[in-house]
Structure 1
Amino acid sequence: MKNEIDIHRALNVFNSITSLGEKQTNHYSASYQLCGIEAETDFDGYTITLRDAQVTLTIYFHNKYQFDYPNNDALDNFLRRFADVENVAKKRKA
């Protein structure tokens, strides 16, 4: 499987999670969770991270990105969660 993703979709998912998700805080940063995906950003906002229990997607400046995952099934499950987030966002807008 190629590690290709629609970066604009991923950024929309990030925005949905940070605006609709539950805020989680620790001493150093804040993250948001929705539909099993956690979203956070670095201190300057140029790098964002989306993750679940097995997969991490890091999006860098100029829309460069990197996946970290143990197997293709974990990646497929992670990407299916994007649709869950999108559905929640659509319902809340309606």
Structure 2
Amino acid sequence: MKNEIDIHRALKVFNKITQYGEKRAIESDDDGHLDHDYWLCGMSAQTDHDGYTISLSDAQASLTVFFHNKYQFEYPTNDALDNFLRRFNDIENYQAQ
């Protein structure tokens, strides 16, 4: 299965999560300082310190978008990827209340 995704769609999902999601503190693996992520509709959104790399993840799968629109999926099964992509639809259709 070839994993193709519209990067602009991923960026819109990322923006919606950071705009409407719950901000949570997480411990950074690198320096021990607290970083943060955002959580919405079962999906987490994070960015690196310079904002060039973003990460979207749920309990089983993740998508990392790098500089110049390169990206990498990580998932254990095709079902996990399908569930992850369904969350994209949920977030795209999310209406703030």
- SS of structure 2 residue aligned to 1:12: helix
User: Segments of 4+ in structure 1 off by > 3 A?
Assistant: none
- The residue that corresponds to 2:77 in the other structure is 71
Alpha-carbon RMSD across the aligned residues, in angstroms, is 1.2
Query: What is the TM-score with the length of structure 2 in the denominator?
Result: 0.89
Identify unmatched segments of 5+ residues in structure 1.
none
| Aligned positions of 1:11-90 closer than 5 A | 11-26=11-26, 27-88=33-94
2-side partners of 1:42 and 1:28: how far apart? 13
Indicate the residue corresponding to 1:4 in structure 2: 4
Letter in 1 for 2:77: N
Q: Give 1:29 shift.
A: 1.1
Hey, what's the Cα distance between the residues in 2 that align with 1:3 and 1:69? 11
Between the aligned residues of both structures, percent identity stands at 67
Structure having the higher helix fraction is 1
State the alpha-carbon separation in 1 of the partners of residues 83 and 2 from structure 2. 15
Task: Please give the alpha-carbon distance, in whole angstroms, between the structure 2 residues aligned to 1:77 and 1:19.
Answer: 22
1:92 alignment partner in structure 2: 96
Q: Aligned equivalents of 1:14 and 1:42: distance in 2?
A: 13
TM-score, scaled to structure 1 = 0.92
What amino acid sits opposite 1:7 in the alignment? I
- How far did 1:92 drift? 2.9
Q: Could you list the per-position Cα deviations for residues 16-61 of structure 1 after superposition, in whole angstroms to 9, with x for gaps in the alignment?
A: 0000000011343110000000000000000000000000100000
